[in-house]
Chains A and B, each alone.
Chain A
Amino acid sequence: MKINFKLNGSNVTVDVVPSKRLLDVLREDLHLTGTKEGCGEGECGACTVLVDNRPINSCIAPIANIANKEVITIEGFRETKAYRVIADAFADMGGSQCGFCTPGMILATYAVLRDNPHPTEEEARIALSGNLCRCTGYQAIVNAVLKASEKGIKL
């Protein structure tokens, strides 16, 4: 079945089974490998992408549900000013080690700062509660969110 959607600002059409996971469409059909697969069960958030500006887990999103929507992956988000602020904050605070969770963490950080530019530490933790990291112990990531918040993501 042909499915149209907007990906990082451009219209794309894929011809796939409607149950195919958005994650596999991105990585295999469209060769965008910035989005990672961790658990494959919607728990770790490594596969986070924005759909109509909200973060979702692409590993459990059937492509049928993405038809006519706007998807932004880390590759598209990298072109924004907000990305620069958030990425610098992660680098400054040691919020990334092996890097596998980082694309998801960055998009989740963007989602919280967009809705709530100055979150409390607790709010930041809740916003990132669906993104798991096995390296940092989280404090460095939370510090990065708060640092990015101080600088402001300037939309």
Chain B
Amino acid sequence: MINHYVPTSLNDALKYLSTHDCYIMSGGTDLMVQKHVSSLVLPRFDKDVLYVGELKELQYIKEDKDGNILIGAETKYADLLLSPIVPEIYKTVIKEIASPNIRNMATMVGNIGNASPAGDSLVPLILNDAEVVLKSVNGERVLKVSEYILGVKKTARKNDEIIVEIRLLKQNLRYLYRKVGARKAESITKVSCLVGYQIKEKKLIDFRVAFGSVGVTIIRNLEIENKYKNIEVKDLDVDRVISDYYQLVTPIDDQRSNKEYRHKVAMNLLRKFLLELKGGIDE
């Protein structure tokens, strides 16, 4: 017997979670598709469902005293786009997710929770070291999004926990981003690349690279990034950076694309962005 529970508050939801292994339903734009059977037939769930999507106490966007942006887990993408305090890079990425209707329903926490390698918002979240706050009746813990996502559809969430907040830590980066899909709207990413960097006195003082849809999760490698920090921008060896990432990018064949194409495009995007980064020193 599958139970459907619509909590009246976060505490109510946490109590339910402490004794039930559930699907946690936010906007439903992924789960309702996954569990869809056909017209007039109820979606087929194999365990309880907890509906937290409309909990008002989990819908907020605020800034803390250190300039970090705190997002209530059930805030819709459309509200992130409307907010003056959400960093531009997230908006750039969100604008290319699905369609306006979906962005009115879907949440960033859903993208994190379902842990798809093609989750577009995971790319800036992981590049920017964003965190999630997990809560249960027993307390709270904070994980980086990169620690939370363990693999394809695998996360570090315990059965009694729920993500209550996403923390976008303050960054001073410039970004270069491109999503490649079959269409401009409503496309699931074939490959995406995001480069974040900061240049000071012609030195590359911060350098980060993330790829989406070309591995079991978002690809980011701190060891490689650290090699290029604090070098003169003019000394950045584009071919060397590309060869560092060459083996790390491990796409697969699926209905949307194939591994050769994805690998080639990932490397081409990285090259294009590195050349732009090198060409763009103007201070």
Q: Please list the residues of chain A having a beta carbon within 8 angstroms of any beta carbon in chain B.
A: 1, 17-21, 24, 28, 37, 40-43, 45, 48, 51, 54-57, 60-62, 64-65, 67, 69, 108, 111, 126-127, 129-131
Interface size on B, residues (CB 8 A): 31
- B42 in the interface (beta carbon within 8 A): yes
Cross-chain pair count, CB within 8 angstroms: 101
Q: Which of B21-29, B112-120, B214-222, B234-242 lines the interface with chain A?
A: B21-29
Query: Closest Cβ of chain B: how far from A72's Cβ, in Å?
Result: 14
Q: How far is the CB of B44 from chain A (nearest CB, A)?
A: 9
Question: Contact residues of B with A, CB < 8 Å?
Answer: 4, 6, 25, 27-29, 32-33, 35-36, 38-40, 42-43, 45, 49, 51, 53-54, 78, 98-102, 104-105, 184-186
Residues of chain A contacted by B104 (CB below 8 angstroms)? 51, 54-56
User: Would you mind naming 20 contact pairs between A and B with Cβ atoms under 8 Å apart?
Assistant: A18-B49, A19-B35, A19-B42, A20-B42, A41-B33, A42-B32, A42-B98, A45-B101, A56-B105, A60-B28, A60-B32, A61-B28, A61-B105, A62-B32, A64-B51, A64-B53, A65-B105, A108-B100, A129-B184, A130-B101
Q: Are B98 and A130 in contact (CB under 8 A)?
A: yes
Give the residue name and chain of the A residue nearest to B100 (CB): A130
B32→A130 contact, CB < 8 A: no
Tell me, in angstroms, the Cα distance from A18 to B31 when the chains sit together: 14
Considering the complex, give the chain A residue whose CB is closest to the CB of B53: A65
| Closest chain B residue to A20, Cβ basis | B42
Q: Give Cα A54 to B39, complex, Å.
A: 24
Q: Is the CB of B185 within 8 A of A126?
A: yes
Instruction: Pick the contact of A130: B45, B78, B102 (CB < 8 A).
Output: B102
Q: B43: which of A1, A19, A65 is its contact (CB, 8 Å)?
A: A19
Interfacial chain B residues near A55, Cβ < 8 Å: 100-101, 104
Whether the pair B29, A42 counts as a contact (CB closer than 8 A) is: yes
* Cβ contact within 8 Å between A24 and B40: yes
Residues of B within 8 A of A62 (CB): 25, 28, 32, 43, 51
A127, closest chain B residue (CB): B100
Cα distance, A52 to B78, chains bound together (Å): 13
How far, in Å, is B27 (CB) from chain A's closest CB?
Answer: 7
Contact A41 B36 (CB under 8 A): yes
Q: A19-B42, A130-B98 are in contact. Are A64 and B25 (CB under 8 A)?
A: yes
Give the shortest distance, in Å, between B182 (CB) and chain A (any CB).
Answer: 12
How many angstroms between the C-alpha atoms of A122 and B38 in the bound complex? 35
B28 CB contacts on chain A under 8 angstroms:
60-62, 65
